[in-house]
Structure 1
Amino acid sequence: MSINFIHKKIFLSIIILVKINSISYAGSMHLETITGAGLSQGTIGEYVYYNNQTLSRLNWNINNLWYYHYSIILQYEYLFAGIQVHGVINDIIGTIDDSDWDQNNPTIKTHYSKHDNYLERYAVYNGTIGFESGINDIIILKPYIGFLYKSIKMSARDGYLEYPPGSPKVPVYGVGIIYEQRYYIPYVACECKFNILDSWAITAGLAISLFAQASDIDNHVKRDLDFYDDFGGLLYLKSDIGIQYSFHENINLGVRCIYEFVPEQKGDMYYIDTSTGIKSSTFSDAAGISMSLFSFECLITFKVDL
């Protein structure tokens, strides 16, 4: 069965569901604004490979990334469209562990260092469009498609170096590495809402992309080298579960837990010598990327009928 045939069946199913459920809505429009804050924890992974062996692994550990959340959703009858924005609140977010191995003998670790992880920039922009389908008075489904742009830029500062690992720690100071990951993610998703009591509801959602793109930049400040990596066809998964309490017809308060996951995947790499401007050739499957983030959000929603 071809990919195009599958896509046609999915599209046709969506159109049929829209037609079936359109009779349940009596021509109304409303606007929702959602504000709040969240905390993320997890690990951003950076890898270098040589002959299919891991030559370098950097774990950018995120212990306390605080961010604000703002989104706006416009719904007409059963159709809705929205945009979501995240921005950063704090700067020191965790630590970074840097490990290197001998390219001739990958069982020998040659280098280990640990540094403070400073957040330089964090931005999330997420656009969605979909429809709402009321299965019954209790269950509401919201299938939708979206595009997510996610960027996180961090720097490794201060810390210590062990060369070789296990030797006396040598203090290092200042910025050693500046690293940024950027994700471009088209995805499909579905959210489900269960009205369990008059004022209480449980929400759950799942999003998936098989065609995510990513790029990263690794600036080795003290070595005059910038590494550029590109990744295509990435797997991206996101799940969430939450609870909402409506203390007014148009106002509700909610909390939710979110998990985002990009498994370790390979891409192409080249580097530029910043002292001369000379660009290297491109090395296939020489770079790696991963992401595993758990977030907790507190949100308040205001609904305005138009």
Structure 2
Amino acid sequence: MKFLRNMTIFIFLYTTMFNSLPVGFSQEKKVSFSFNLATETGFSWGSVEELVYQEGRQISRLVWDVRWVPSLGIKGVLKYCWLIGIVEASTAFPIRSGALKDFDYLLEDPTKPSHYSWHEAYLDKDMCLGFSLGLQLPLGEIWVLVPRVGVTYQNRKWSGQNGYLQYPNTGYWTGNESQQSVAGTVISYEQALWYPSLSLAVEWLISSPIGLSVLATWIPYLEIQALDNHFIRNPPVQFYDRLLNGMGIEGEVKLFWYNEEKYISKESWYMKLAFRSFSVMGTTSSRTIGLGDGTFIRDSSYTAGSREIICFLTIGFLK
């Protein structure tokens, strides 16, 4: 309650002072309420890692490639006075996203893989929904400061198909071992993740009608629930990971062109380059795939984790 009271006082004082300043927004054209819709298309690239530990020692690392995965998105932008609300949704195309590389570290040296396998990685789905609420605070004639709070939910899944195994009879994996071919879906990995975020954007009108926006985001908490299926184990096994208290960052640089030589034009094209990186740890449980009661069994000596770094290139049109 104290925070809300202080924020209300701040908004009132800022609005009062702002109305008395000669800022770059046209007072004749200023509208207290507006709604704009944006459509986006783009590509993403990077990697998502799936990690397993035993007594704090890493014993497995799976790297899922994300290579030039195309996506489509839509965004609604609602503005009222100095408040701004954004709802956005996107989906990626289900395509081959690169390779899955699976490393096991089961021998004495935890830095040298003992087993290795390679598979084709296919993205089965990747859907994302986000909401944010913030303030637009003009600073002079060409600058705008936009602090925002938001929340994001994402659901994505990959399948590892075909490929080969390299399991040495003795010693560490070198890459020179014979390849044992495998066919069909070998591994699948699905994540449902959500996180709140705190963002700060600075918008700058470089030279009408061209502007630049730089955004930095802190992810103070991140949670993932994941299902990892290994179909060629004997018997096949499904793992359930509950990963909590993760943390991450996001960044974005956006260049935009207004269709009119006005900073408050309702229509604009934009291109943005962004990234997201996070790391999270938690518990893991397992069960046999097939006959049985389906109960997950947790072994406290094992823990799981995930980390990623993914970049995004997006082109959009706001109207």
TM-score by structure 2 length? Answer: 0.86
Partner of 1:3: none
Task: Using the TM superposition, give the Cα deviation of residue 229 of structure 1 relative to its aligned residue in structure 2, in angstroms.
Answer: 0.7
Q: In structure 2, which of residues 228, 250, 256 is the aligned counterpart of residue 238 of structure 1?
A: 250
Identity score, percent? 21
Match of 1:260 in 2: 276
Partner of residue 4, structure 1: none
Deviations 1:198-253 (A, max 9, x none): 10100011111222211211011233211011111110210100110112332111
Is the CA contact (8 Å cut-off) linking 2:94 and 2:122 kept in structure 1? no
1:81 alignment partner in structure 2: 85
1:120 maps onto 2:124 in alignment = yes
Shift of 1:192: 1.3
- The count of corresponding residues between Structure 1 and Structure 2 is 294
Greater mean deviation of Cα atoms: 273-282 or 156-165: 273-282
2:312 alignment counterpart? 295
Query: What are the equivalent positions in structure 2 for 1:198-217 lying under 5 Å apart?
Result: 198-217=208-227
SS at match of 1:196: strand
Residues 113-167 of structure 1, C-alpha deviation per residue, up to 9 Å, x if partnerless? Answer: 1111101110110001111111111110111110001222100011111112331
- Residue 151 in 1 paired to residue 155 in 2? yes
Contact residue 130 and residue 143 of structure 1 kept, 8 A: yes
Please tell me whether Structure 1 or Structure 2 has the larger radius of gyration of its CA atoms. Answer: 2
**Residue identity matched to 2:250:** K
User: Which consecutive unaligned segments of at least 5 residues does structure 1 have?
Assistant: 1-6
Structure 1 residue identity aligned to 2:207: L
2:13 aligned counterpart, secondary structure: helix
Bigger mean CA deviation after superposition, 163-172 or 40-49: 163-172
**Partners of 2:165 and 2:182 within 8 A in 1:** yes
Instruction: Give the equivalent residue in structure 2 for 1:109.
Output: 113
Match for residue 134 of structure 1 among 125, 138, 142: 138
From 71, 74, 79, the equivalent of 1:70 is 74
Distance 2:281 2:31 in 1: 49
Q: CA deviation at 1:279?
A: 2.5
Corresponding position: 1:229 with 2:241: yes
Aligned residues of 1:155 and 1:178 also touching (Cα < 8 A): yes
Match of 2:25 in 1: none
Which deviates more, 174-183 or 13-22?
13-22
Is structure 2 residue 184 aligned with structure 1 residue 167? no
Provide the residue aligned with 1:184 in structure 2.
194
Give ranges in structure 2 of 5+ residues lacking alignment: 20-29
Which of the residues 264, 267, 283 maps onto 1:251?
Answer: 267
User: For residues 60 and 119 of structure 1, what CA distance do their matches in structure 2 show?
Assistant: 9
Does the CA-based 8 Å contact 1:269-1:284 persist in structure 2? Answer: no
